[in-house]
Amino acid sequence: MSDDHDHHDGHDDHELRVSKISSGTVIDHVRGGQALNVLAILGIDGSDGEEVSVGMNVPSDRFARKDIVKVEGRELSQDEVDVLSLIAPDATINIVRDYEVVEKHRVERPDVVEGVLSCPNMACISTGDEPVASRFEVLDDGVRCAYCGTIVRDEIPSLIDT
């Protein structure tokens, strides 16, 4: 019989802080404090029964602190990954099936995101009565509306078109 003190199965102790999932997505190396914004981007508010575990400010070898988000039973779409890259440019996306990581990829910032953010400029053509699909060019530290040139940096999570 094994007792609970014997946790050394090849994983470091940091991995053990957040429960393992059987299938779904693990978003690792999210910058500290951004986990809740990640949930907002993914439209996860607990209402649809998705099992989510969040580790905030856990020690990281890449940053001083990082957040981890694990979503049971859901694999992210490319659109979701693209928006995620705007607030978590260093994140790693791990796809888990049967408790095994089957795919692991870094997010890549796209040059342009379309239809995922809404422009904060109420006079912009993309927010008018007959709005065109939003289109933002991705900058190093934010995004710029392709129509009116408004630059958005810190408030990206609040503009996510859900």
Which amino acids are annotated as binding site for Zn(2+), given as ranges? 119, 124, 145, 148
Which residue in this structure is represented by tokens 């053990």? 16
Binding-site residues, please? 119, 124, 145, 148
Backbone angles phi, psi at 30, to 5 degrees: -80, 135
Residue in 37, 84, 100 with CA at minimum distance from that of residue 92: 84
The C-alpha angle with vertex 10 and arms to 39 and 90, in degrees rounded to 5, equals: 35
Judged on CB neighbours under 10 Å (0-12, 13-18, 19+), 90 is: middle
**How many whole angstroms separate alpha carbon 143 and alpha carbon 94?**
26
